A = this chain, B = another copy of it.
Amino acid sequence: MTGETRRPHTGRRRNEAARRAILDVAVELLGGTGDTPVTIDTIAAAAGVGKQTIYRWWPSKGAVLLEAVAERAGADIPVPDTGSLLGDLGGFLRATFRAVGHERTVSVLRHAMAEAQRDPHAGEHMRAFIAGRRAVLRGLLERARDRGEVSPGTDLDLVVDQAYGVLWYRILVGHAPLSATEADALARALTAQVRG
């Protein structure tokens, strides 16, 4: 998969290169065609790592997967500052939907969420990841509220739930696309909702 070049040992300290290889391979396999199963054995083999090196640092397969996914997803989603709620929210959701819109990413996130339901360790990672993303979006909304674009008494957490709820619902059920058009529609709807 990767790791053709010999990876040197690092003695009694954790080998960061091995950690990287494991997480990279995990994401690669999760987003793959599905012909290679996403197994601890396949991850270890593709990363050129012993299974024990995985279990030394992660408590379960789900934990590896979730850490790998959480590290990727959410990175590189800029928080725009256009001066208006509709602009900010639209930009943010477009970027989010675009990042998630790839077939591979949808596959990764679907399986990550599934794993989080079975593996308590994965669930913990998932909750932490979700909380992080929610905080970012809530910050965006709070800025708009401070500008007076949100009617007082609006439950911002509920707005956040609606945005991410629609996203995850579509990821998991697959009944509707996740494109820029949909992102804009959602942004307009939520903006109208909070306008008061």
Q: Which of A68-95 contact B (CB under 8 A)?
A: none
Task: Name the residue among A111, A113, A166 with the largest chain B CB count within 10 angstroms.
Answer: A166
Q: Which of B110, B127, B186 meets A174, CB within 8 Å? A: B127
The reply to whether A161 and B169 contact each other, CB–CB distance below 8 Å, is yes
Bitwise, A167-184 to B at CB < 8 A (1) or not (0) is 111101111100000100
Q: Which of A140-167 contact B (CB under 8 A)?
A: 155, 157-159, 161-162, 164-167
Number of interface residues of A (CB under 8 A): 40
The answer to whether A116 has its CB under 8 Å from any CB of chain B is yes
The answer to whether A27 has its CB under 8 Å from any CB of chain B is no
Could you tell me the distance between the alpha carbons of A117 and B30 in the complex, rounded to whole angstroms? 12
Bitwise, A103-138 to B at CB < 8 A (1) or not (0) is 000000011011111100001001100110010000
The answer to whether A185 has its CB under 8 Å from any CB of chain B is yes
The answer to whether A190 has its CB under 8 Å from any CB of chain B is yes
Q: Which residue of B lies closest to A118 (CB)?
A: B114
The answer to whether A17 has its CB under 8 Å from any CB of chain B is no
The answer to whether A189 has its CB under 8 Å from any CB of chain B is yes
Q: Which of B123, B165, B185 meets A168, CB within 8 Å? A: B165
Task: Name the residue among A131, A155, A165, A170 with the largest chain B CB count within 10 angstroms.
Answer: A165
Q: Which of A27-80 contact B (CB under 8 A)?
A: none
A105 to B: closest C-beta gap in Å: 14
